[in-house]
Amino acid sequence: MTINVLIVDDQQLVRSGFRLLLDAEAGIDVAGEAATGVEAVAAVEILKPDVVLMDIRMPDMDGIEATKAIVQRAPDSRILALTTFDDEPTVRGMLAAGASGFLLKDTEPAQLIDAIHVLHRGDALLSPSITRMLLSDLSAAGSDTEILSDLTERELEVLFEIGRGLSNAEIADALSMSPLTAKTHVSRLLRKLQLRDRVQLAIAAYEAGLIRPGTPD
């Protein structure tokens, strides 16, 4: 199955570099390019890409606002934020807007390719280090334990491991279950908590106090 990708960046040179990389990759097709957030929203409605590589600092409409609009109008398109800025407000803004992944532009090509496949599978990129940086102030704001009231003990364990940044395979190993069972628990958590993806599940784990900054990986 071919993954259709939209490249969004205000610099032509950057877009061309990403296109060269992706065009050389079997199973990935560059559906189009956009130079501004406004162009990106319009392009998504026409092209219906599977994954959008989204720059953040752009004229006209930034990546955060563009992501919000795309998630509302084309929820099946997954947003991978690509930026030179890894400050907390930027990361939080993109993920709150609905992005399913966040990478810096100096990421190795192989990691970018892998990230596109990860998002296309319906998963999300959330490293433990980004999670700690992003959500380090949640503990100071107090815990919202109400969201945990309908979860089983096993689901709480799975949510905890998601908050630590573990993949389904790693959760299966940590909790002595099959990868399929781990995937099923993740799907149930998404449905019960009415969340979009693992990024939001990890945020929920922090907000509920299951994970605190400094929790071992």
Residue 156 lies in a domain: yes
pLDDT of amino acid 124: 76
Q: Are residues 18 and 79 in the same domain?
A: yes
CATH number at residue 170: 1.10.10.10
Q: Can you tell me whether residue 51 is helix, strand or coil?
A: strand
Percent of the residues in the chain that have a pLDDT greater than 70, as a whole number: 88
Residue 212 lies in a domain: no
- Choosing from 86, 101, 125, the residue where a domain stops is 125
Does the structure show a pLDDT above 80 at 132? no
Are 14 and 34 in contact by the 8 Å Cβ rule? The answer is: no
**Average confidence (pLDDT) over 195-208:** 81
Q: What's the CA angle centered on 114, arms 111 and 115, to 5 degrees?
A: 85
**Average confidence (pLDDT) over 129-139:** 56
Tens of pLDDT, residues 6-27: 999 999 999 999 999 999 999 9
Residue 215 lies in a domain: no
Are 105 and 83 in contact by the 8 Å Cβ rule? The answer is: yes
**Mean pLDDT in the chain?**
86
Give the range of the structural domain holding residue 96, as residue numbers without chain letter: 3-125
Tokens at residue 61, please? Answer: 């409409």
**Average confidence (pLDDT) over 63-81:** 95
Are 147 and 201 in contact by the 8 Å Cβ rule? The answer is: no
- Using pLDDT thresholds of 50, 70 and 90, give the confidence band for residue 137: low
Are 156 and 210 in contact by the 8 Å Cβ rule? The answer is: yes
